[in-house]
Structure 1
Amino acid sequence: MRRVATIAVLVVAASLLVATPATAAPAVQYTNSLVAQRADPHIVKHTDGYYYMTATAPEYDRVVLRRATTLQGLATASESVIWRRHTSGEMAAHIWAPEIHYINGRWYIYFAAGRSDDVWAIRMYVLENASANPLTGSWTERGRIVTPLNTFSLDATTFVHNGTRYLAWAQNDPAVGSGTNLYLAPMSNPWTISGTPARISVPTYSWETVGHRVNEGAAVIQRNGRVFMAFSASATDANYCIGLLTASATSNLMNPSSWTKSPQPVFRSNDATSQYGPGHNSFTVSEDGQSDILVYHDRSYRNINGDPLNDPNRRTRVQKLYWNADGTPNFGIPVADGITPVRLRSHNFADRYIRHWDYRARVEANVTNLADSQFRIVTGLNGGGSVSLESTNFPGYYLRHRNFEMWVERNDGTATFRADASFQRRAGLADSAGVSFESVNFPGRYIRHSSNLLYVQAVSTATDRADATYHLE
């Protein structure tokens, strides 16, 4: 298919991962959405083997926390209220965007809150817990994070780079205008910044200024000699999206000129997959520690009645973050609800993946339009224990053979299509750790590549078997 409407490349976000070369990682599979009515999700994997998740509750009145040994387990994990809003004064309204961090042997939660007498006087606050398990023990209020500007501020996050801990946040500066900008400052302790903050991003592009002028929800990941800072932009409806700032790891992060903003959003609404307003992301890692996982919220519908902030149905979602050959992150598109997709890498051409282009299926390297090379392995349309491979950016379209050529086409409901689009999943013919796909209606013929195009063909030689073997990522 043509490269319509999918977004590709780059992005990212918050995690404690340290820079390493971009490498392939085994496939992971989750089912979306993860948690209903939880926005601004923040998930960390701790050294105790648990994932900890906090997020904004739609009542805006409390900080919640849950844990599980798997990401999918967070969906059904019990949730605890670890702190409630004050009844008057500070921290009494709009309890927003909590993040949980483990720093120097203690747990910290950063969140934003308004006042009872002015719910829009939103500032940043910190809670501390010395217990090994943050669901136990007591949380101490460390108070407000003081910034030189005593103005609307929110979405504090923290990360360490070259031995220095930084705080990044969003704040209004009346001298700049309405809305929020992104700021950065070193920290003297987990609730105090030091020095003069640097303003590193101002919303100027059209996609940053729909409904509101917004840069917020910063999240950082460091890889491949660069520091990537994802952020969210525009109003919190279907226009909400993710942008990206990039700095060299050897640069002075406090110098605004060290940061380059990508000219287009790197993650945005997608009509084909029915995902709208994706944003306020964080990052964690897969259970085996080998894959980066994007955590974010969105809605399953475009149109909202009234103020989007009063719509409770932003929900937490997860999907794998991929890396381009040049070391930049690539999150593709917000995938459809249900099981997450995979990529299929050629066994004998390790830089090539199955992808579609003008409906024709092929193997190709450097597929930065990521969703072209992602497929959901679903129950076979023909049944009988078979599987079918559904396109990620064109739901309802499947890999099928026609005249023994492989195409990506819409399911027309016929028995012929169901059979042509169904395969028996086998251990890899050239490597049992991989996978091969045998045609249901032409047993003995497998999906294989030849001159970069895909066919269903009989296999007999070692080369044939290698051509018909793929590895899931």
Structure 2
Amino acid sequence: MKNFRLLLFGYVLFLLPQLSTYAQDCTFTNPVWKGADPWVFQKGQSYFFCKSEGKGIAIAQSSTLTDPGEWMKVWDAPQGSWNSANIWAPEIHFIQGRWYIYYTAGKKPGGPFIHQRSGVLRSASDDPFGPYEDMGMLQTGDDVEDPDDVKWAIDLTPLEHQGKLYAIWSGWEENRDTDKTKQHLYIANMENPFTINGPRVKLSSPEENWETGGELDLQEGPQVLKNGNKIFIIYSTRESWRHFYRLGQLELISQNADPLNPGNWLKKGPVFEGTEQVFGVGHCSFAKNPDGTEDWILYHSKTSTEPGWDRDVRLQRFYWDDQDHPDFREPIPTGISIPCPKPK
């Protein structure tokens, strides 16, 4: 009996490393949750997610990319203001010691969506859950001194580069009375995280054959992606309500090139598009796994090929090619087991 116990004890000791490895095994399947325009910001060992919720904005904090956990509403849209309705695609960023939430809103609910403008909220401290102060509408026009010159603008995101701050967004050349209006990507200088202090510059227009040919030519959802000295803007193109929605790419030609010069950006695409199993992929954000050795893309896709905005959120790893460009490969189909982001 004693020998048996010794044998059993030895067997358990032999199995412990394997049991430990097995316990660390983790997989997930897409989609990871219901929704659209997924945003994640990584700070330290935490991931901060942001979404529109009702007539407001909610934040979640999690230790994993696969599950945002519990959402907390941090801002309610005011009544009777320019930002009372149509709260779209909020993003949370940590800049200069405070949290900022960039979002899109309009003064009237529903369509046509001709009143959409970009705004920003600022945290009172370094607490991502607020309270937040509404810093107002950003001046996304040609004359920053003229409050009446603000142009239609959505999906604004900041770019920090060489000690300077820029705003990048999707906008119209002129305000119009129809939302069937061509969308371009714009960039402008920022004096601080809540003030644009320079005229907008048209950075890119939907001109390539993979960006055009549908009901509306558009570029939207720009997101900054960095890899060493390389800077990319990954954006969505084609119609968001169609299964042709996809991602394009702009690359700054060198680290020292002026981001405000459109000639300094090289366009490539599509860099990520749907398949016969995954439809209309777009509006992404990026993060690394906890130890920083893996890169992940969070994006949404349509639930069917029928026109509409019924979408799911998906997550998958991406890689870098021999030119240090992002390699997103193909969207992973529903139900396929995917290894979880490696823990630290």
**TM-score, structure 2 length as denominator?**
0.81
The equivalent position to 1:251 in structure 2, one of 252, 257, 263, is 257
The equivalent position to 2:38 in structure 1, one of 41, 53, 56, is 41
Q: Structure 1 pair 319/340, CA: closer, same or farther in 2 (3 Å)? A: farther
Residue 290 of structure 1 deviates from its aligned partner by 1.2
Aligned counterparts of 1:35 and 1:191: Cα–Cα separation in 2: 31
Q: CA RMSD in A?
A: 2.4
Match in the other structure for 2:22: none
Match in the other structure for 1:146: 139
Residue 341 of structure 1 deviates from its aligned partner by 4.5
Residue 286 of structure 1 deviates from its aligned partner by 0.9
The equivalent position to 1:319 in structure 2, one of 316, 319, 322, is 316
Q: Structure 1 pair 90/144, CA: closer, same or farther in 2 (3 Å)? A: same
The equivalent position to 2:246 in structure 1, one of 241, 247, 265, is 241
| Native 8 Å contact 1:246 1:261 kept in 2 | yes
Query: 3-state SS of the aligned residue for 1:257?
Result: helix
Kindly provide the amino acid, as one letter, of the partner of residue 227 in structure 2: R
Aligned counterparts of 1:337 and 1:119: Cα–Cα separation in 2: 32
Aligned counterparts of 2:63 and 2:299: Cα–Cα separation in 1: 19
Residue 261 of structure 1 deviates from its aligned partner by 0.8
Deviations 1:243-302 (A, max 9, x none): 00111222111111001111x31111111xx21111111111112221111111112321
Provide runs of 4+ in structure 1 moved above 6 Å: none
| Native 8 Å contact 1:319 1:340 kept in 2 | no
Match in the other structure for 2:128: 134
Figure out how many residues of one structure are paired with residues of the other and give that number.
301
Kindly provide the amino acid, as one letter, of the partner of residue 280 in structure 1: H
Larger radius of gyration: 1
Map 1:394-473 onto structure 2 (within 5 A). Answer: none
Query: 3-state SS of the aligned residue for 1:53?
Result: strand
Residue 30 of structure 1 deviates from its aligned partner by 4.1
Aligned counterparts of 2:26 and 2:164: Cα–Cα separation in 1: 33
Match in the other structure for 2:17: none
Match in the other structure for 1:111: 103
The equivalent position to 2:232 in structure 1, one of 222, 228, 235, is 228
Q: Structure 1 pair 222/51, CA: closer, same or farther in 2 (3 Å)? A: same
Aligned counterparts of 1:334 and 1:56: Cα–Cα separation in 2: 25
1:156 matched to 2:150? The reply is: no
Aligned counterparts of 1:148 and 1:340: Cα–Cα separation in 2: 46
Kindly provide the amino acid, as one letter, of the partner of residue 130 in structure 1: A
Match in the other structure for 2:216: 212
Kindly provide the amino acid, as one letter, of the partner of residue 141 in structure 1: D
Aligned counterparts of 1:73 and 1:102: Cα–Cα separation in 2: 21
Map 1:194-343 onto structure 2 (within 5 A). Answer: 194-209=197-212, 210-236=214-240, 237-247=242-252, 248-262=254-268, 264-271=269-276, 274-304=277-307, 308=308, 311=309, 313-339=310-336, 341=338
Match in the other structure for 1:85: 77
Match in the other structure for 1:68: 62
| Native 8 Å contact 1:214 1:235 kept in 2 | yes
Aligned counterparts of 1:340 and 1:227: Cα–Cα separation in 2: 31
Q: Structure 1 pair 119/197, CA: closer, same or farther in 2 (3 Å)? A: closer
Instruction: Note the residue ranges of structure 1 that are not aligned, 5 or more in a row.
Output: 1-26, 343-375, 377-473
Aligned counterparts of 2:83 and 2:160: Cα–Cα separation in 1: 27
| Native 8 Å contact 1:106 1:132 kept in 2 | yes
Kindly provide the amino acid, as one letter, of the partner of residue 51 in structure 1: Y
Residue 71 of structure 1 deviates from its aligned partner by 1.2
| Native 8 Å contact 1:89 1:116 kept in 2 | no
Residue 28 of structure 1 deviates from its aligned partner by 8.7
Query: 3-state SS of the aligned residue for 1:319?
Result: strand
**TM-score, structure 1 length as denominator?**
0.60
The equivalent position to 2:195 in structure 1, one of 184, 192, 212, is 192
Match in the other structure for 1:53: 49
Q: Matched residues, percent identical?
A: 30
